[in-house]
Amino acid sequence: MCAAGDARPFMTPGPFKRLGMAAAIIIFSASSLAVSAQTLTVFAAASLKNALDDAGRAYAGRSGLKVIGSFASSSALARQIERGAPADLYLSANVKWMDYLQQRKAIEAGTRVNLVRNRLVLIAPASSRVSVRIQKGFPIDKLLGDGRLAMGDPDHVPAGIYGKAALVALGVWQSVESRVARADNVRAALALVARGEAPLGIVYATDARADPSVKVLGEFPEGSYPDIVYPAAVTAWAANRIEAGRFLRFLRSPEVAAIFERHGFVVLN
C-alpha cells in the first residue's frame, strides 16, 4: 500500500533514512484502506505534524474518533487526493494547492477556511558558530562553505517555493541555485540540517522551534516571500461524512487555537 511509510494515528515517524523517505508520503486507494466510521483520515502539510498530533489526541479523547494523519508535502498530498485517495480533510501549506483541488472539484464547496500563518527562517545545526544578518545581498553562498543549502524542492514543495522567492527578492538565489539540497518536504530539509548533513537550511519557524538540534540564524524579511497561509477543507470524497465537518470545526475552536499558538503558528480568525 505504501512506498515510503504507513499511515499511523498521529505518531512521529522514525529517523529519516534518506531524502526520498523523509515523510509519510502515502499512496492510497479506496480498496487498500479500510475506512471506519470511528476513523478520520487527515492529509496535512508536514509542517503541521506536531500541532495536529496534539489536536488529534485532544479530539480523540472527547469524541472517541481515531484521527489518522498522513504528513507530506502539500503538492504530493493534493495529487493523491486528486487521484481518489480517501482523505477526509486536506490541510495545505500553500493556497495554490488548495486552489488546485478546488478547481478540480476535489474539495467540498463551502468548507474551505484559512487556519493559520507561518514564517520563514534560516537555520543551522545547533553547534554552528555561523552568524548572519538576512538582508539584500547577504553572503549566503560563502556561509555554505563546501556544503549545500537544505530546503524543500523549490519546484514543488511550498516551503521551497517560499524559500526561493525570498532568496530571489534578496538577490542571492543565483549564487546558491546549483547548491540546493532539494528535500521532499520541509521536515526532510529540517532533518538534513539537524543531522549536520547541510550547514544551512530554509524552513518554517514552527519547524525550527520543534527541533532542538537546530538553531535559527534569522528570519527572512516580511515581504520577501508571499504570505504563508494554511487553508483547510473537507474533501469531496468525505462530503457526506458528518465527522469530517465536525473535526474541521474543532480545528477552528479556541482549544486548538491555543495548540497552534503553542507550536508557533499565527491563528487566523
**CATH classification at residue 24:** 3.40.190.10
Share of the chain above pLDDT 70, in %: 86
Q: Which residues pair with 70 in a beta bridge?
A: 43
Query: Do 153 and 72 belong together in one domain?
Result: no
Give the relative orientation of helices 74-82 and 95-103 as an angle to the nearest 10 degrees.
Answer: 10
Average pLDDT, the chain: 88
Query: Do 148 and 24 belong together in one domain?
Result: no
Residue 37: the pLDDT is 64
With bands split at pLDDT 50, 70 and 90, how would you rate the model's confidence at 120?
very high
Cell of 241: 461524512
214 against 12, higher pLDDT: 214
Query: Do 32 and 161 belong together in one domain?
Result: no
Q: What is the 3-state secondary structure (H, E, C) of 68-103?
A: EEEEECHHHHHHHHHCCCCCCEEECCCHHHHHHHHH
Query: Do 112 and 27 belong together in one domain?
Result: yes
Query: Do 131 and 82 belong together in one domain?
Result: no
Q: What b/e sequence results for 83-101 when a residue is b if at least 16 CB atoms lie within 10 Å of its CB, and e otherwise?
A: eebbbbbbbbbbbebbebb
Backbone angles phi, psi at 52, to 5 degrees: -75, -25
Say which residues have a Cβ less than 8 Å from residue 87's Cβ, sequence separation at least 6. 28, 41, 42, 43, 70, 77, 80, 81, 235, 237, 238
Instruction: Read off the pLDDT of residues 144-182 as tens digits, 9 standing for 90 and up.
Output: 999 999 999 999 999 999 999 999 999 999 999 999 999
Quote the pTM value: 0.81
12 has a pLDDT exceeding 60: no
Residue 269: the pLDDT is 76
Domain of 161 in residue numbering reads as 118-219
Query: Do 210 and 124 belong together in one domain?
Result: yes
Query: Do 86 and 137 belong together in one domain?
Result: no
Cell of 195: 543531522
Q: Report how far residue 226's alpha carbon sits from residue 18's, in angstroms, rounded to the nearest whole number.
A: 30
**Gyration radius of the chain over CA positions:** 18
Backbone angles phi, psi at 217, to 5 degrees: -85, -30
Evaluate whether residue 73 is within a structural domain.
yes
Residue 1: the pLDDT is 35
Query: Do 79 and 154 belong together in one domain?
Result: no
CB-CB contact of 28 with 69 (8 Å) = no
Residue 226: the pLDDT is 95
Query: Do 188 and 202 belong together in one domain?
Result: yes
Q: What is the mean pLDDT of residues 90-95?
A: 96
Residue 29: the pLDDT is 37
Q: What is the mean pLDDT of residues 224-240?
A: 96
Q: What is the mean pLDDT of residues 14-38?
A: 42
Share of the chain above pLDDT 90, in %: 84
Q: What is the mean pLDDT of residues 26-36?
A: 41
Query: Do 102 and 163 belong together in one domain?
Result: no
* Domain count within the chain: 2
